[in-house]
Structure 1
């Protein structure tokens, strides 16, 4: 990997410094924040404490006793729990929070510990800036969050409409399908305020997958985990569509295939590359009232 750049992209706000390569160039300026922040134009406040804490007066919580673990263990030796090599995304994940009585090293506190591996922002050949690891990352370990401004649909739609075809789109729309048929939507925009997650590029065969995890707030942390062992120097990627390691309803898959004129070329280089970046047309509608007809 050569000599590391001494510049810390995170400006000392992460648990580990994030290096930059090459040192002669810098990515476009933005305000660094390791956590979600409330958007100025609306949206839920991500710092609001929404959940009561557990009453486990122990160093680490046990499934049989902890109210934060109603669906079983979330982690095993810091790795996300995937018994049988399959992840069950139908069950929400809650970490122990600020109000909990357990210790800071509780096994159900992983995302909130921050970065656990040294990462580097680097200039790619065709995809602009990217993110890679400076050290080996075992399968199942937490890598980083995708953090930014939390917006409501109206503001996310407004920002999308202001973009030109050459502007990068960092806004991610998370849709969680609830047991009663409703869909909970979270819009995250790290364009102006965000963390290193904004540098992650798409891949049709990614080495990361995203999981919504809640700690203090109903607003989920968008946590990215290693889908397999990741070698030193390897670029970190995830599937922008959310299809990889996640359940995506047929309705949403169809939406991602629309609007040929809006598709952008994918340069991930994967053997099974689709040739184009995933596209979610709901945020690009001219008339917001059309959203309910998709």
Structure 2
């Protein structure tokens, strides 16, 4: 495409936006409402996914070492655990340290056990993928020096099922919302193009090619998508600042945290503007191609 032709298409697209003020307002409003819903839902789902990932990362296997195990047995057990393909890290915690943690968490009454410590030496094992925790625990239980491999069997497996289901449901809802947004915006743009069908017929009669006619409408859809994304982006940037500040105060010291304000809002803003631009261009292209039979 020649530079002069491209400049002409840009001028025509901006001119059409001004010329069809009310239709432009209707299309931008449709884009704004749908992208606002998409943006809010995107923020919620990405934070839910982050919380789910944090919960998964907190899952670990606590391997109790047999009381009669020698230092050599412990070192061999640690080596065997570390060599498992599912294992990411192995951390040793002596029974003395375990008792101190117990006293710290439950009170000084447990200090009585310092003379005769009944606890086990423990290896704290984390897997590369949290979902592999049950598999690693079953393998570790078979090692000679292992007394028990504890990971909250039924609760952990139920947790993984719930997280998997929530992620799948979230993905389906986002896709459904995007499809609805595309449908609504496409129909709004279709109305604006229908109102200008005579203009298109005249262009065809004077010999304009299909793509020569399409390009101003596609660019117009691009501007509609970008304009419609402005308010949703502002709502996400301002709203998430308030939510992030509140969450920082209320969740202080907790292992579950929301995504950091930066660069999260920039990423979401980029996604919103890309979705708006794509839907606007796609809606214009499909409307011109199918509805007006060009």
What's the TM-score, normalizing by structure 2? 0.22
- Normalized per residue, the structure richer in helix is 2
- Normalized per residue, the structure richer in strand is 1
Looking at both structures, which has the greater relative contact order when contacts are Cα pairs under 8 Å and sequence separation is at least 6? 2
